[in-house]
Amino acid sequence: MSIIFYILHKTFDLSAIFSGNRSKVQKMMLYYSRLIPMGQKGCCRLHDFSVLWSGKYHQYWEVLPHSHGYYQIIAVLKGSGEILIDGCRYTLADHRVFLIHPNAEHAIPHGKDDIQPQLLDIKFTVNDDPLANDLSRLPAVLDVGNFSLFQNYFEQILRESAKGEPYSYQCICCYFGLLLAQLLRAQSGMVSGSQEAPPGEAAMESSGDPGLNKVVGFIQQNYATPIVLDDLARIVNVSKSTLIQTFKTALHTTPLQYINRIRLEKAKDLLLNTDSSISEISEMVGFQSIHYFSRYFKNREQISPAEYRQRYSSSHFYTYRQPNGKEDLNFL
C-alpha cells in the first residue's frame, strides 16, 4: 500500500465525502493508492521534491529584482499588475499561473493602476532528475487546465500547513504531487519534447505581438457577450484573414476557437463553484444556445456538463470551517 493511500485514508472520512456511495469510495481509494506508487520509475514520490514554504496573501509591496536557487509557483486569484521574469514582462491577471525557475531573476513592480493582486505562492526544490528535466522544459506562464482543481490542491496545502499536526507535511507533499501532476499534464506537449507550444496565454505572451495581446485582452474581458470576427479585426485594423493567420501562428487556434475555449474554462469554474443551473451558466459565459454549449462541452471534455459537476465537485475533499461555522480559506 502506498504512502499517499495511507495518508488520505487516515486523514479523510471518505465515506462522508462521497455521501456513502461505497463503490465510489472504493474506486477513489484505489485511484489514490495507484496515483503515486512508491519506487516506480518516473513517478512523483514524496522524496522527489521538498516543499519549502506556501502562502496566500495580497501583494501590497513591491518585490525588487532578485533570484534564488529553488522553484516558485505564483498563481493569481484576482487583481492586476505586472511581473518580470528573466527580463520578460508579463501581466498579472485572474487565474494566471507563473513558474519561476531556480536562479531566474524576477520582480513584481508597483504601478499606479495596479489592483493589488491576491496570490497563491509556493516554493519548492526538486530532488529527482527526470522530474527536474520535465520542469526545466516549462515556460514562465503556464496553462493549468482546470484552475478550480488547481486552486483546491493549493488550498489543501495551506490547510495542512496551518494545522501543523502529525503527518501534515506528508499530506502537503501528497497534495503538491497532485498539483505538479496537473501542471505537467497540462503542458504535456512541452514535457514530451514537442516543439509546438500549447495554445493559450503562455504562447500569446511569448509572441510579443501587441496587436494580438490587445485582441486576446478584449476577448477575456468580453467573452460573455456576442463577439464576431469583424469586431476583433477592427480592434487592430487588419483583415479577418490576417487576424486568423496571426492566431494560428501564435496560438495554434482560430479566434473563434479561442473564444469558445475561454468560455469553456469559465463554465467549468462556475460548474464547480456555484449552484447556477447549466442553462444559466451557458448564458453567463456567452454561449447562445444550451444545446450547442452541451455538445461543445462534451466534445471537448468527453463528459456532459452535469457529469463534470458531479465528478469533480465530489473530489473537493472538504471545506474548512472555523468554530463559529464560517468558512475560512485564508490562513495568512
In order of their start, the domains of the chain are: 3-35 (no CATH), 47-191 (2.60.120.280), 201-313 (1.10.10.60)
Sequence-distant (6+) residues with CB within 8 A of 307 are none
**Measuring CA to CA, which residue among 66, 71, 75, 77 is closest to residue 52?**
71
**Can you list the pairs that 297-302 forms with residues at least 24 positions away whose Cβ atoms lie under 8 Å?**
297/264, 297/267, 300/264, 301/264, 301/268
- Mean of the pLDDT values across residues 222-237? 90
* 87: phi then psi, degrees, rounded to nearest 5: 85, -5
Distance CA 179, CA 191 (A): 16
pLDDT tens digits, 160-205: 888 878 888 889 989 999 999 888 888 764 444 433 333 444 444 4
Question: Quick check: 303 pLDDT over 50?
Answer: yes
Question: Quick check: 51 pLDDT over 50?
Answer: yes
Highest mean pLDDT among 45-54, 165-174, 306-315: 165-174
Question: How far apart, in Å, are the Cα atoms of 331 and each of 50, 95, 260, 321, 327?
Answer: 21, 20, 35, 12, 11
Question: Quick check: 96 pLDDT over 70?
Answer: yes
Banded model confidence at residue 316, pLDDT cuts 50, 70, 90: very low
- Mean of the pLDDT values across residues 265-293? 87
Sequence-distant (6+) residues with CB within 8 A of 10 are 167
Q: Which helix (H) or strand (E) holds 201?
A: helix 201-207
Got the DSSP string for 140-167?
A: SEE--S-HHHHHHHHHHHHHHHHH--TT
Banded model confidence at residue 209, pLDDT cuts 50, 70, 90: low
Q: Which three cell numbers stand for residue 196?
A: 509546438
CA atoms within 13 A on the CB side of 142: 30
pLDDT tens digits, 99-135: 999 999 999 998 766 778 999 999 999 988 888 888 8
